[in-house]
Structure 1
Amino acid sequence: MGLLTIGAFAKASRLSPKALRLYDELGLLSPARVDPATGYRLYAPEQLERARLVAWLRRLGMPLARIGEVCELREVDAAAAAREVRAYWAQVEAETAARRDLAAFLVDHLSWKDPGMSPTTKPLGIRYAALSDTGLVRESNQDTAYAGSRLLAVADGFGAGGAPAGAAAVQVLKRLGVEGVAEGVGAGVPVGEILNALEDAVEQAGHAVRDIAGADPAPREVGTTLTALLWTGSQLAMVHIGDSRAYLVRDGGLFQITHDHTLVQSMVDEGRLTPEEAASHPQRSLLARALTGEAGATADIRLHDARPRDRYLLCSDGLSAVVPTEDIRGVVTSARDPEGAVRELVALANRAGGPDNVSCVVADVLEPEE
């Protein structure tokens, strides 16, 4: 079979001539020959397989640049190309799940009204405690733990300026908590305004961290994780970036409500590692996202409805990466009060060798009369 005209090739590959011309311009699918006199593009039959792969990947919604990478991989290692497609689809599913959670929240928020809530209804209260410890190996403590009537936060700094970077990020959110009280956050302020205020605060926190990192000879190596809950009286607005964690204790169960932003966790999401393999992976602390000296990091921001007798735990990876989850659950479900819980959690980490700084914040949600 000889060369195919662009029309015949388009029909066989199910790609439009317009798409073929675009892919030629991008170097994604170049014709086998271009007639020097007419400028007509001619394609070889053996190019159909690549063209069909491009068409299938476009139907998945894959960006053209990434399609080019998959096509090039396929030429040398089909298994590697398959892994790249699997990784892309895992990313799509993760993003879809996040949008689904947001959509479900918005549906509930727009369609449900608690008949028991009124302008005179007293908000729920919280009782809290925070504790940070250097551990048994590190010479200094780069963690920041804070608990107040409006804000719960843990930041785990890294690099030469890690300690001030974490403290600066938390300080920005502390200002939001204080100003939020003055502006009536949680007393009828629309949810969108709360989330927008939190997004603005995260952006300001990023600027604060970049200012500190900019004074370091290696600014890209300075930054911090940040996991925080802003208390509104009936809900908790959460911001999260990095591998510090937030857990919810409800009805005797311990539930992780944050998703680690680490390279190893992304490999678990893509199916390349099992959770058991990830727990002992040598690069399990390598961050994929954090507040650093570079702009562009995106934090997870969402709302959680609070219930009386809920207990929240925020911690740095000096606890979660050192102490088994079941041991953490045992402490946070049995401790009588937040003060006892944070002391015992820090003690657990140190009994396990204390290889890292460890910080914990525990808060109980109380009935108004409590």
Structure 2
Amino acid sequence: MLDVVFGQASDPGKVRKNNEDAMGSFIPSSRHQARSHGYLFVVADGVGGLDLGEVASSTAVSVLIEEFEKAQGGAMLISLLPRLVQHANAAVHDRTLAPEFRGKKMATTAVACALRHDQAIVSHVGDSRCYLVRKGIARQITQDHTWVNEQRKMGVISASDVATSDSRHVLIRSLGPEMFVSPDTTAVTVQPGDVLVLCSDGLHDEMPGTAIAEIVSQNKPIDEVAQELVARAVEIDGNDNTTAQVVRIRSVEQVGMYRGRPYSLHS
């Protein structure tokens, strides 16, 4: 049986009064629901500007969580999750058409991780990230949808240039500005002892993967781990809202596929 514990923390940082980051989760209420739906974790980082960053991020998170809960049991997560991200995009885009927001632009990043059996499906838009920490080593699952990261992939600039570039926060993809958006989606097989970290750029801008791995690999209550991650990032800089969700995998249920349907592999 898949069993996870999670902790989360968010801090507006030292500069901004309001927190434009949002986070949410769907936790199954029964063993049956854990098998039919699984778990969902989401972090969104509203793009700065008035209160609309908050509106965009909270809209994206609530739509993802609600739609995940309503989804048909046993739906293939690899196709479900990007579809839900698209729904969230449409919802944020629609908010810009509401009379009170007419003419104002709003946008948000989003990273969502759905877990079922022994699979983690990660779908994202923007530069909020998901890391998988296994045996003390962090692997970045997502690739930032930023202008500088595209330049790096084309070999125009180096990885060290990315970290110091003034335009490292210029997004080439986000939820809200366009009617359609194309999320990137990745499937990962998880093992007991793995830790997944979803975070906004307020965290990963200040801390390399090695520092994130070190903190989340501690044998401490998961809430304390999440709070320590965020507190450390804010201490280092604190010029941005900072959010982290930390999900520790305690046990998994290995499954095989037969005619597109999962079945248990009991050892």
Per the TM alignment, residue 328 of structure 1 is displaced from its structure 2 partner at its CA by 1.9
What is the distance in 1 between the residues matched to 2:20 and 2:63?
Answer: 17
Structure 2 counterpart of 1:328: 212
**Higher RCO (C-alpha under 8 Å, 6+ residues apart):** 2
Structure 2 counterpart of 1:342: 226
| Secondary structure class of the residue paired with 1:223 | coil
One-letter amino acid of the counterpart of residue 236, structure 1: A
In percent, how many aligned pairs have the same letter? 33
Instruction: Report the CA distance shift for 1:263/1:218 in structure 2 as closer, same or farther (over 3 A).
Output: farther
2:35 is equivalent to residue 152 of structure 1 = no
Contact 1:128 1:147 in 2 (8 A): no
Q: Which structure's residues are more often helix, by fraction? A: 1
The TM-score with structure 2 as length reference comes to: 0.83
| Secondary structure class of the residue paired with 1:365 | strand
Contact 2:5 2:222 in 1 (8 A): yes
What is the distance in 1 between the residues matched to 2:208 and 2:7?
Answer: 22
What is the distance in 1 between the residues matched to 2:194 and 2:171?
Answer: 30
Per the TM alignment, residue 167 of structure 1 is displaced from its structure 2 partner at its CA by 1.1
What is the distance in 2 between the residues matched to 1:177 and 1:335?
Answer: 31
Contact 1:137 1:354 in 2 (8 A): yes
What is the distance in 1 between the residues matched to 2:58 and 2:117?
Answer: 25
Q: Which moved more, 1:254-263 or 1:204-213?
A: 204-213
What is the distance in 2 between the residues matched to 1:235 and 1:300?
Answer: 16
One-letter amino acid of the counterpart of residue 195, structure 1: I
Q: Deviations over 1:87-119 (max 9, x none)?
A: xxxxxxxxxxxxxxxxxxxxxxxxxxxxxxxxx
Structure 1 counterpart of 2:97: 214
What is the distance in 1 between the residues matched to 2:121 and 2:186?
Answer: 6
Q: Deviations over 1:224-256 (max 9, x none)?
A: 000011122321221111000000001221100
Per the TM alignment, residue 353 of structure 1 is displaced from its structure 2 partner at its CA by 2.6
The TM-score with structure 1 as length reference comes to: 0.61
| Secondary structure class of the residue paired with 1:291 | coil
Contact 1:313 1:361 in 2 (8 A): yes
Equivalent position to 2:77, from 180, 184, 194:
194
Structure 1 counterpart of 2:73: 184
One-letter amino acid of the counterpart of residue 214, structure 1: L
Q: Which structure's residues are more often strand, by fraction? A: 2
Per the TM alignment, residue 324 of structure 1 is displaced from its structure 2 partner at its CA by 3.4
Per the TM alignment, residue 217 of structure 1 is displaced from its structure 2 partner at its CA by 5.0
What is the distance in 2 between the residues matched to 1:242 and 1:145?
Answer: 15
Contact 1:177 1:230 in 2 (8 A): no
One-letter amino acid of the counterpart of residue 6, structure 2: Y
| Secondary structure class of the residue paired with 2:169 | coil
What is the distance in 2 between the residues matched to 1:222 and 1:126?
Answer: 34
What is the distance in 2 between the residues matched to 1:326 and 1:253?
Answer: 7
What is the distance in 2 between the residues matched to 1:329 and 1:368?
Answer: 21
Q: Deviations over 1:25-55 (max 9, x none)?
A: xxxxxxxxxxxxxxxxxxxxxxxxxxxxxxx
What is the distance in 1 between the residues matched to 2:209 and 2:111?
Answer: 18
Instruction: Report the CA distance shift for 1:325/1:302 in structure 2 as closer, same or farther (over 3 A).
Output: closer
Equivalent position to 2:141, from 249, 253, 257:
257
Q: Which runs of 5+ in 1 are unaligned?
A: 1-122
What is the distance in 2 between the residues matched to 1:251 and 1:326?
Answer: 12
2:5 is equivalent to residue 133 of structure 1 = no
2:131 is equivalent to residue 242 of structure 1 = no
| Secondary structure class of the residue paired with 1:239 | strand
2:178 is equivalent to residue 294 of structure 1 = yes
Q: 1:34-49, aligned counterparts within 5 Å?
A: none
Instruction: Report the CA distance shift for 1:135/1:276 in structure 2 as closer, same or farther (over 3 A).
Output: same
What is the distance in 2 between the residues matched to 1:163 and 1:343?
Answer: 21
| Secondary structure class of the residue paired with 2:96 | helix
Equivalent position to 2:66, from 153, 157, 175:
175
| Secondary structure class of the residue paired with 1:214 | coil
Instruction: Report the CA distance shift for 1:184/1:264 in structure 2 as closer, same or farther (over 3 A).
Output: same
What is the distance in 1 between the residues matched to 2:154 and 2:252?
Answer: 44
Structure 2 counterpart of 1:12: none
Instruction: Report the CA distance shift for 1:348/1:329 in structure 2 as closer, same or farther (over 3 A).
Output: same
Per the TM alignment, residue 330 of structure 1 is displaced from its structure 2 partner at its CA by 1.8
Structure 1 counterpart of 2:21: 143
One-letter amino acid of the counterpart of residue 85, structure 2: V
Q: 1:79-118, aligned counterparts within 5 Å?
A: none
Contact 1:311 1:363 in 2 (8 A): yes
One-letter amino acid of the counterpart of residue 153, structure 1: V
Structure 2 counterpart of 1:164: 55
Q: Which runs of 5+ in 2 are unaligned?
A: 28-38, 254-267
